[in-house]
A and B are shown apart, each in its own frame.
Chain A
Amino acid sequence: MSLLLHLFTVAAVSAGVFFFLAGTVGLLRFPDTLTRLHALTKADNLGLGLIVLGLLPQCPDVTSALKLVAIWALVQLGGATASQLIAEFARRDGGGR
């Protein structure tokens, strides 16, 4: 059972790292502000989400698991709002560069 949980952790965290990598490549390679933001939010939502999901079985108790989920939710809120704000400014400046 514990081996299965460890395997799950490795798989989920690796998938999360992949999304972070893909998001970073997108941030560096995509042509304009809006598409770059699109790449970045994938790293935030899916990347961090999968890493938190993978770490959940490793938590010693329910409280620390809940804290991890709370951190993910807060990063979601912060990341989504920040990218909306950046997008608003980019659009106002004329499409973004």
Chain B
Amino acid sequence: MSLAVDLVMVLLILTTAVWTILVRDRRDAVIAFIVLGLLLSLVWMRLMAVDVALTEAAVGGGATGLVLLRACARLLPVEAEGALPGLRLQLAVGALCALVAAGLSAVILAPVDPAPTLAPAVAAHMDEVGMKNPVTVVLLAYRALDTLLEKVVLVLGLIGVWALAPDLFWGGRPASLRAATPSGTLDFLARVLPPVGVVIGIYLVWNGADHPGGTFQGGTALAAMWLLIMMAGLGELPETRALRLRRLVAVGPALFIAVGFAGFWMAGGFLSYPPGLAKPIIVAVEVALALSIAVILALMVAGPAAKEPER
């Protein structure tokens, strides 16, 4: 029975993946990609990887999908719809994709037996960190350096998006997210949903210590609420030069780096936590990170500055 469910899922995902590639209309392709993200999150649920499922649904399907939809809308006037890249480029992309797929399937189909794993070592030392969610323990205690670099990459990504603005607009507001025609329904949702969504976002961050959840999932929920308010025209996008905004972008990674250096004199190593204090430090870092992620994701969706900064 469960095999049948898995087979149906595999078939659905393959169909959606092929559809994403084959469909001619750019916006249809993005919508298929969002559906693919949701299906993949269901697969992660089947594999009992709830943390990954939440991240896939929030970031893989939701936030990335929204960024791509915005990109579609911006590209429309520039590029003729349906124009295909040259045959040589298509062949090159196809060959490289096939290479990646072949490499991945070689790894998956011929696994090392027994698979190398550090899971027992993590399980044995969970108590020392004081958290019950092994994913959070690995992300913020054992592999904290990877997580730190990942957040720094987010900030760099946002700088990359902002850098696309013409010199004249540098520091100004991004193009408005407001719908072209006002809608009472959207207005209603933007007034009713944010209180609930913000609570869910905070819950996901706070819960991440002991249960599935964490900064990325919570941060994305917060970003979604902010974007919803701006789409309904209930709030305006801030100027990208605003000092408060830039502080929010930097606070998470900055606190993480500060904690890393503090580790030298507190526990004798970069990103080491003193025994007994690991949990409060990690929670503080997570709260700051969630704030930064929320602001960064929302600003990535908003895009580069498109208006002159006000004097």
List A residues at the B interface (Cβ < 8 Å).
74, 77, 81, 84-85, 88, 92
| Count of CB-CB pairs between chains A and B under 8 Å | 15
Contacts A77-B192, A88-B185 known; list 13 others, CB within 8 Å.
Answer: A74-B196, A77-B189, A77-B193, A81-B185, A81-B186, A81-B188, A81-B189, A84-B185, A85-B183, A85-B185, A85-B186, A88-B183, A92-B181
Q: How far is the CA of A44 from the CA of B188 in the complex (A)?
A: 20
Enumerate chain B residues within 8 angstroms of A92, measured Cβ to Cβ.
181
* A contact face: mostly helix, strand, loop, or mixed: helix
| B123 CB → nearest A CB, Å | 24
Q: How far is the CA of A81 from the CA of B183 in the complex (A)?
A: 11
Q: Using a Cβ–Cβ cut-off of 8 Å, how many residues does chain B contribute to the interface with A?
A: 9
Q: How far is the CA of A84 from the CA of B183 in the complex (A)?
A: 10
Considering only CB atoms, which chain B residue lies closest to A81 in the complex? B189
Which B191-214 residues have C-beta < 8 A from chain A?
Answer: 192-193, 196
List B residues at the A interface (Cβ < 8 Å).
181, 183, 185-186, 188-189, 192-193, 196
Enumerate chain B residues within 8 angstroms of A88, measured Cβ to Cβ.
183, 185
| A46 CB → nearest B CB, Å | 21
Enumerate chain B residues within 8 angstroms of A74, measured Cβ to Cβ.
196
Enumerate chain A residues within 8 angstroms of B192, measured Cβ to Cβ.
77
| B285 CB → nearest A CB, Å | 27
Considering only CB atoms, which chain A residue lies closest to B183 in the complex? A88
Enumerate chain B residues within 8 angstroms of A81, measured Cβ to Cβ.
185-186, 188-189
Q: How far is the CA of A88 from the CA of B193 in the complex (A)?
A: 20
Nearest 5 CB-CB pairings of A with B: A84-B185, A81-B189, A85-B185, A81-B185, A88-B183
Q: How far is the CA of A84 from the CA of B192 in the complex (A)?
A: 15
Q: How far is the CA of A21 from the CA of B291 in the complex (A)?
A: 41
Enumerate chain B residues within 8 angstroms of A84, measured Cβ to Cβ.
185
Ordered by A's residue number, 15 sampled pairs between the chains whose C-beta atoms are within 8 Å are A74-B196, A77-B189, A77-B192, A77-B193, A81-B185, A81-B186, A81-B188, A81-B189, A84-B185, A85-B183, A85-B185, A85-B186, A88-B183, A88-B185, A92-B181
Q: How far is the CA of A75 from the CA of B164 in the complex (A)?
A: 37
Q: How far is the CA of A62 from the CA of B186 in the complex (A)?
A: 33
Enumerate chain A residues within 8 angstroms of B181, measured Cβ to Cβ.
92
Q: How far is the CA of A92 from the CA of B185 in the complex (A)?
A: 15
Enumerate chain B residues within 8 angstroms of A77, measured Cβ to Cβ.
189, 192-193
Q: How far is the CA of A77 from the CA of B181 in the complex (A)?
A: 21
Q: How far is the CA of A74 from the CA of B225 in the complex (A)?
A: 14
Q: How far is the CA of A77 from the CA of B189 in the complex (A)?
A: 8
Considering only CB atoms, which chain A residue lies closest to B200 in the complex? A74
Q: How far is the CA of A48 from the CA of B150 in the complex (A)?
A: 37
Q: How far is the CA of A92 from the CA of B193 in the complex (A)?
A: 25
| A44 CB → nearest B CB, Å | 15
| B288 CB → nearest A CB, Å | 27
Q: How far is the CA of A96 from the CA of B196 in the complex (A)?
A: 33
Considering only CB atoms, which chain A residue lies closest to B192 in the complex? A77
Considering only CB atoms, which chain A residue lies closest to B179 in the complex? A85
Q: How far is the CA of A1 from the CA of B188 in the complex (A)?
A: 44
Q: How far is the CA of A25 from the CA of B183 in the complex (A)?
A: 30
| B295 CB → nearest A CB, Å | 24
